[in-house]
Amino acid sequence: MNIAFEHRQSAHCENGVISNLLNHRGVSLSEPMAFGIGSGLFFVYLPFLKVNFAPGFSYRPMPGQIFRRLAKRLGIRVKHQRFSSPEKARAILDEKLRQGIPVGLQVGVYHLTYFPDEYRFHFNAHNLVVYGKEDGEYLISDPVMDYTTRLTEQELERVRFAKGALPPKGHLYYLERLPERYDLEKAIRKGIRQTCNDMLAPVPIVGVRAMKWVARNIRKWPASIGIKKTNHYLGQLVRMQEEIGTGGGGFRFIYAAFLQEAGKVLDNPALIQRSEEMTAIGDAWRDFALDISRIYKNRKSGPDVYDKLSAQLLDLADRERRFFAQLKKDI
């Protein structure tokens, strides 16, 4: 079985899977659109949760959230299934493929054979589409890859039943029903409004307040935990911001692309203006990452280096606070 499925590469796996699955059903929705309507832009700081021996930072909401919000806002019905038995998980997947339905899967990254070694961490919220089976091998459309790949039954079972935080448990999903017509404009407004509220949320671990918290900690870390650990923590921040999936600048550029598209759909020139500002903010995030990487390159790290990084992040938080307050008024 081989479903005629168009593989299009995207920056982020979750948006890419959504966009490709919808495209297969004849709904053309760009990756930035899916990201923006699903309120994908976010910032969260979890200082007590240690990921890879550093605190948790994330530039996006919990895995699966973007898809769920998008589906709700456009009135798409998506069927989700998890399994306790790998045999059942495989049987249902095969059945759906026989019916000609491309299936989205949540998988662990560590055992994905086509990823380079450097990227194989125990991260369980990656998404891909299976669009067929040939000679006992599954045909895989992984949206962050340029090209389609294949996995054997054993390989796919291993990634579908990866262990650790957020275990996929064979999680599969497919589009069940699409609405006759949907209100794109309303969905866009809802998506933007939620992002503004998230980023301006009055809690310390979310949005611009979380950025400020991180910034204050960067100033303290060298004295409290030492230079080596500080550099490792900052490395984690850079990787979360720039690694495959973000489209650069911690999703800021994807969001700017969304605002530009949204400005045209809603015929609202203010959003086009906001898009340009968001691009500038994204550039400032890139500079921040570049300055952190200089610590590794030059091996030079006086206390003033960290004070400067802290000030940079505080400034970014301030800019985003003003940005989202303005965006909220524009919508």
Q: What whole-number distance in Å separates Cα of residue 309 and Cα of residue 313?
A: 6
- Residue 116 Cβ, how far from another protein at the closest point, in Å? 5
Q: Say whether residue 244 binds another protein (CB under 8 A).
A: yes
Residues near another protein (CB under 8 A), total: 53
Q: Say whether residue 163 binds another protein (CB under 8 A).
A: yes
Q: Which of residues 297-326 bind another protein (CB under 8 A)?
A: 297
Rounded to 10 deg, the angle between the 65-74 and 184-199 helix axes is: 140
> Which member of 80, 169, 190, 286 binds another protein (CB under 8 A)?
286
Q: Say whether residue 156 binds another protein (CB under 8 A).
A: no
Q: Say whether residue 290 binds another protein (CB under 8 A).
A: yes
3-state secondary structure of 95: helix
What's the one-letter identity of residue 52? Answer: N
Sequence-ordered list of residues with C-beta below 8 angstroms from that of 261, at least 6 positions apart, any chain: 30, 32, 33, 36
Could you tell me which of 183, 181, 203, 216 has the C-alpha nearest to residue 313? 216
CB atoms within 10 A of CB 188: 24
| H or E stretch covering 25 | none
Taking the least distance from each CB to another protein, the nearer of 78 and 272 is 272
Contact between 78 and 179 under an 8 Å Cβ cutoff? The reply is no
Taking the least distance from each CB to another protein, the nearer of 3 and 241 is 241
- Residue 173 Cβ, how far from another protein at the closest point, in Å? 23
Q: Say whether residue 292 binds another protein (CB under 8 A).
A: yes
Q: Say whether residue 114 binds another protein (CB under 8 A).
A: yes
Contact between 313 and 319 under an 8 Å Cβ cutoff? The reply is no
Q: Say whether residue 141 binds another protein (CB under 8 A).
A: no
Contacting range for another protein; rule: CB under 8 A; set: 84-92, 183-191, 195-203, 226-234: 226-234
> Which member of 29, 208, 257, 262 binds another protein (CB under 8 A)?
257
Q: Say whether residue 6 binds another protein (CB under 8 A).
A: no
> Which member of 56, 75, 86, 235 binds another protein (CB under 8 A)?
235
Q: Which of residues 72-91 bind another protein (CB under 8 A)?
A: none
> Which member of 36, 242, 274, 331 binds another protein (CB under 8 A)?
242
Residues β-bridged to residue 107: 126
Task: Report the b/e string of 277-301 with b at 16+ CB within 10 A.
Answer: bbbebbebbbebbeebeebeeeeeb
> Which member of 23, 197, 260, 326 binds another protein (CB under 8 A)?
260
Binding mask 21-60 for another protein (x = CB under 8 A): -----------x-------------------xx-------
Greatest Cα pair distance, the chain, in angstroms, is 62
- Helix H, strand E, coil C: the string for 226-284 is CHHHHHHHHHHHHHHHHCCCCCCCCCHHHHHHHHHHHHHHCCCHHHHHHHHHHHHHHHH
Q: Say whether residue 99 binds another protein (CB under 8 A).
A: no
Q: What whole-number distance in Å separates Cα of residue 16 and Cα of residue 40?
A: 13
Taking the least distance from each CB to another protein, the nearer of 19 and 217 is 19
Point out which residues bind another protein (CB under 8 A): 9-11, 32, 52-53, 110, 114-122, 144-146, 163-164, 167, 231-232, 234-236, 238-239, 242-244, 247-249, 253-254, 256-257, 260-261, 275-276, 279, 282-283, 286, 289-290, 292-293, 296-297
